[in-house]
Amino acid sequence: MITGKKFIILISILILTLLLGMAYRYSPYKIEYLGYYDKIWAHRVNSPEKLESALKYFKGVELDLVYNEQDDILDVTHPPVPSIGLSFEKYLSYIDVVEKPYLWLDIKNLNSENADSIQKKILKLFSEKKYPLDKVLVETRYPEALLDFSKLGFKTSYYLPFGLTEMSPETRNIELKKITNILDEQPNLAISSNYTDYEVMTKEFPTRDKYFWITSSIRKHGFSTPKKILKDSTVKAVLISYKVIKGHR
């Protein structure tokens, strides 16, 4: 039988556990990444409020962009989340710090057909801000669209087909051959994917620069996996989930 005193203790432990869980959830600092925060960037920073907060703790942020060709606007949004009408030009105006952060631009609809228009657009914006291009990573699923970005001095990354680890050996080999051919044609092109494909990527492309994201809970990715990835000198940055009370999108 649980006495009144024991009941109070159990409730207190439960409340404390919940509070610690919430604190960990919203904390920018996670135990599994300690010692490697020079490589840790904030994931999906798609609002002014989240950007302002993230810049206090991270050297780099990732944001999602969709190019509107008709209006020649880069919209900061991640479909299917509704747009809030935040242009990339306006977004950059919120970066009012001396030491410019690293930017990871996940341009959702960047392809060979609109690459020239997007390139001119962001080059103009960065030139006006005197933003160092070597601190900007441009990522897309369509690597042929990245050639000119690399030539201009941007960092570039090929967003690899998802789930290489889970594919059948036959399907994976087909995909790896395609990736190898692309990388042979673009020696400066990095590769990026979810952390679950790290083992395949490091085995097949051991010297290639890599970018990853780890947005799962610690119950899934544990402590050792992030440490192993972050120790790898070819891994240049890892995105982690960063939650804020206001402006989380």
pLDDT in tens, 150-203: 999 999 999 999 999 999 999 999 999 999 999 999 999 999 999 999 999 999
Q: What is the pLDDT of residues 33-91, one digit of tens each?
A: 889 999 999 999 999 999 999 999 999 999 999 999 999 999 999 999 999 999 999 99
Range of the domain at 200: 30-240
Residue type, 40: I
80 cis-preceded (ω within 30 degrees of 0): yes
In a domain, 108, yes or no: yes
In a domain, 208, yes or no: yes
Helix (H) or strand (E) holding 12: helix 4-26
Of residues 8 and 182, more confidently modeled: 182
In a domain, 249, yes or no: no
Does the pLDDT value for residue 214 go beyond 50? yes
In 10 A of CB 205, how many CB atoms?
18
Give the C-alpha separation, 93 to 134, whole Å: 19
In a domain, 16, yes or no: no
> pTM of the predicted model, to two decimals?
0.88
In a domain, 4, yes or no: no
In a domain, 14, yes or no: no
Query: Looking at residue 100, which CATH number applies to its domain?
Result: 3.20.20.190
In a domain, 39, yes or no: yes
DSSP percent split of the chain into helix, strand, coil, nearest 5: 45, 20, 40
Pairing state between β 60-68 and 190-194? unpaired
In a domain, 248, yes or no: no
Give the C-alpha separation, 94 to 46, whole Å: 12
Number of domains in the chain: 1
44 CA to centre of own chain: 7
Q: What is the DSSP letter of 67?
A: E
